[in-house]
Structure formats: C-alpha cells, structure tokens
Amino acid sequence: MQRQALITGASRGIGRATAVKLAAAGHRVLLNYRTRDDLAMEVAERIKEQGGQAELLPFDVAEYKQAATVVKQYIKTHGAIDIVVNNAGITKDQLFGAMKYEDWDRVIRVALDGFYSVTKPCIHGMLKQNWGRIVNVASMAALFGNAGQVNYSAAKAGLIGATRALSRELCKRGILVNAVAPGFIDTDILAALKVPHEDLEKLIPMGRLGLPAEVAKVIAFLVSEDTSYLTGQVIGVNGGML
C-alpha cells in the first residue's frame, strides 16, 4: 500500500538514503531540506528515474511557523502524511566551556523544535486513520555522550525521550514511534569531526564505518506493516558498539 512519507534533511546522508529506500518500497516521498536545492533535486530525479514518486518540500525545521505552515498546507492539499522520519540534524562542536549560546541553541532547535514542528501537524491525520509511523534519527552520542558534543548529545537524548513518551500516547491508535541511534556512519556529519577514518574504525567491533543505506534499511523496516508490535524502541545501528 502506498503511503506518503516525509523525510527531513533528505538531501544528503541518511535522509537521502532513506528517501530512496522508501520510494523503492512504493511510498510517495516528500523531501525536506533547507538550502541545497541542487542536492534535493538530484535525489528527486534519482527516485523518479527508478519509477518512484518524490516531491520537494523545502523549509527550515527549526522555524516553527515556517515548518508547520508548509506541512499543514501540504496535508490540506494532498491528504494525510502517514510516515514521518525526523532525520534533520546538525553539529556545532566545541568544548562546553567555550560553547557559544548560538551553537547550543541551533543544534537543540533543529533536533527538538524540528521534531515538534514537523511531527505535530501530521498527528491528526494519523489519528483519523488509526495508522502512522514516526521514526526519529537519534545518535549513539545520545546514549554515551561525546566530548565536544554536549549540545548534540543533549539534543539527540531529548529526541529519545520524546520518542518513548510519544509512543505511549499513540500506540493504542495504531501509530508507532521508534528511534534509530546510528554510530559512526559515513556522512558529512562524520566528516566534520575531522578524525581519520582509520582511528574511528578501531573503535568499531565490525572494523568499518556504517553506510547511510544500512541505516535506511532499518528505518524502512520500522515504517513498514511488519512493525505492528514494535514501538518506543531505540535501535542501535553501530557495528557492534554497545
């Protein structure tokens, strides 16, 4: 059955891979992004070349009025959004003692305000049809913490708390809420750490970085019909790091 799936931060990395995967599963995907029109258009073109359906939905998830307005208008015109993947996230790394408020605030707003701004407008349609899937992309940093990433770790940990609480509110209505917590995945965010891949690989029991497509496969499972009794969970995708 075709569903409408909104993926935030869909122009690159895990979001891009997820969009391609969900489109291949037969869903109509809505590609959210903030600035990179060129990258988002590349994703949409790839999906369409493979016979899928994609639509661009540009807005800043951290700006509530902008995000909520765009999502509500889309729903009014095209019907309920059945699947939400809250993938948008940024890093502004710095030791906490030297961290600027602006860098704390922006990271928190993208992850947590973005979750609120995008997910809340979609809930009504899910409740009306007694079906929905929400997947929040957290991070291993939320579970263990990373030096220099107090803001990012806090933001992603908050997202895990929101996942568990919202799952309790919605599960009796057929709406399942889960999270994935990726480890070291070969994306732009990992590149921003400026740590040699060889050093990171030594920390991973499987001895290699993860791929965005490997996270996307887990997300695709979590939004499928096969997850009828799975909610409120945080799935680690980290190559064996506990």
List the one residue out of 169, 88, 84 whose CA is nearest residue 133.
84
Catalytic residue among 33, 64, 116, 152: 152
Does residue 152 carry a catalytic annotation?
Answer: yes
The distance between the two most distant Cα atoms of the chain, rounded to a whole number of Å, is: 51
Q: Measured between alpha carbons, how far is 75 from 73 in angstroms, rounded to an integer?
A: 5
Q: Which are the catalytic amino acids?
A: 152
